Amino acid sequence: MASEAELKAAGEKSIPKDYDPTLYKIRHSLAHVLAQAVTERFPQAKPTIGPPVEYGFYYDFDLDVNPSDEDLDWITDRMRKIIRGKHAFKVREISAEEGKGLFKDQPYKLELIEGLVHGQDEYGNSAQPGAAPTLTVYSQDTFTDLCRGPHVESTNALDPKGFKITQVTGSYWRGDEKNKALKRFHATAWASEADLKTHLARVEEAARRDHRKLGRELELFTNSQLLGSGFPIWLPKGSTVRRLLEQFITDYERAAGYQHVYSPDLAKKELYQVSGHWDHYSENMFPPMKLGQEENAEVLVLRPMNCPHHILIYQSRPRSYRDLPFRIAELGKMYRYERSGVVGGLSRVRCMTLNDAHLFVRPDQIKEEFAGVVHLVKKAYADLGITDYTFRLSKHDPNDKEKYVDNPELWATSEAMLREGLQELGLPFREAEGEAAFYGPKVDIQVKDVMGREETLSTVQLDFHLPSQFKLAYKDADDTEKQPVMIHRGVISTMERMMAYLIELYAGAFPPWLAPVQVAIVPIADRHFDYAKQVAARLLAKDFRVETDLGDKRMNAKIREAQLQKVPYILVIGDKEMAADAAAVRLRSGEDLGAKPVAEFIDMLEQVVKLRTLKLVP
Confidence class for position 2, pLDDT limits 50, 70, 90: very low
Break the chain into its structural domains and give their ranges: 4-207, 221-506, 519-611
CA atoms within 13 A on the CB side of 432: 20
* Residues sharing a CB contact under 8 Å with residue 562, sequence separation 6 or more, in sequence order: 520, 522, 549, 570, 588
CA distance 337 to 362: 35
State pLDDT tens for residues 456-511.
Answer: 999 999 999 999 999 999 999 999 999 999 999 999 999 999 999 999 999 999 99
CATH H superfamily, domain 519-611: Anticodon-binding domain (3.40.50.800)
Q: What pLDDT, on a 0 to 100 scale, did the predictor assign at position 365?
A: 96
What confidence tier does 120 reach under pLDDT thresholds 50, 70, 90?
Answer: low
pLDDT at res. 280? 82
Are domains 4-207 and 221-506 of this chain identical in fold?
Answer: no
Q: Return the ∠ at Cα 487 (arms to 482 and 491), rounded to 5°.
A: 160
Cα–Cα distances (Å) from 215 to 207, 218, 514, in that order, read 13, 5, 15
3-state secondary structure of 167: strand
Checking 596-599 for CB contacts under 8 A at 24+ apart, the result is 598/535, 598/538
**398-413, pLDDT tens digit by residue?**
888 878 888 888 899 9
The rounded distance, in Å, linking the Cα atoms of 227 and 210 is: 22
Query: Looking at residue 57, what is its pLDDT?
Result: 96
Q: What is the pLDDT of residues 203-227, one digit of tens each?
A: 999 999 999 999 999 999 999 999 9
How big is the CA angle at 463 (ends 462 and 464), to the nearest 5 degrees? 130
Residue among 69, 70, 79 nearest 38 (CA): 79
What is the model's pLDDT at position 127?
A: 54
Residue 341 pLDDT exceeds 80: no
For residue 12, pLDDT over 80 is answered with no
Between 125 and 497, where is the model more confident? 497
pLDDT digits (tens, 9 = 90+) for 536-570: 999 999 999 999 999 999 999 999 999 999 999 99
**Beta strand pairing call for 569-573 and 546-548:** unpaired
| DSSP secondary structure string for all residues of 282-324 | GGGSPPPEESSSSTT--EEEE-S-SHHHHHHHHTTS--BGGG-
Query: In whole numbers, what is the pLDDT of the chain averaged over residues?
Result: 92
CB 182 within 8 A of CB 35: no
Closest by CA to 454, choosing from 358, 511, 388, 371, is 388
Average pLDDT over residues 372-381: 97
Neighbours of 128 (CB within 10 A): 6
Angle formed at CA 419 by CA 414 and CA 422, multiple of 5 degrees: 130
Examine the pLDDT at 14 and tell me if it is beyond 50.
no
CATH number of 4-207: 3.30.980.10
Residue 11 has pLDDT above 60, yes or no: no
Q: How sure is the predictor about 452, in pLDDT bands with cuts at 50, 70 and 90?
A: confident
- How many angstroms separate the CA atoms of 486 and 359, rounded? 6
Res 159 pLDDT > 80: yes
pLDDT per residue over 18-34, tens digit each? 688 999 999 999 999 99
Backbone angles phi, psi at 135, to 5 degrees: -95, 160
Residue 525, SS3 per DSSP: coil
% of the chain beyond a pLDDT of 90: 81
Kindly indicate the confidence band of residue 10, based on its pLDDT and cuts at 50, 70 and 90: very low
Task: Give the mean pLDDT of 30-46.
Answer: 97
**221-506 carries CATH number 3.30.930.10:** yes
The reported pTM is 0.86
586 vs 451 pLDDT, higher one: 586
Buried b (16+ CB within 10 A) or exposed e, 209-231: bbbbebbeebebbebeeeeebbe
Look at strands 46-47 and 52-53 and give their pairing. unpaired
> How much is the pLDDT for 316?
96
Specify the pLDDT at position 126. Answer: 55
pLDDT at residue number 132: 54
- Best CA proximity match to 572, nearest among 543, 532, 542: 532
Residues ≥6 apart with Cβ < 8 Å to 528: 573, 574, 575, 578
- CB within 8 A of 148, min separation 6: which ones? 9, 10, 11, 136
> What's the pLDDT score for residue 431?
93
Phi, psi of 333 (to 5 degrees): -85, 135
**Is 42's pLDDT higher than 90?**
yes
DSSP state of 229: T
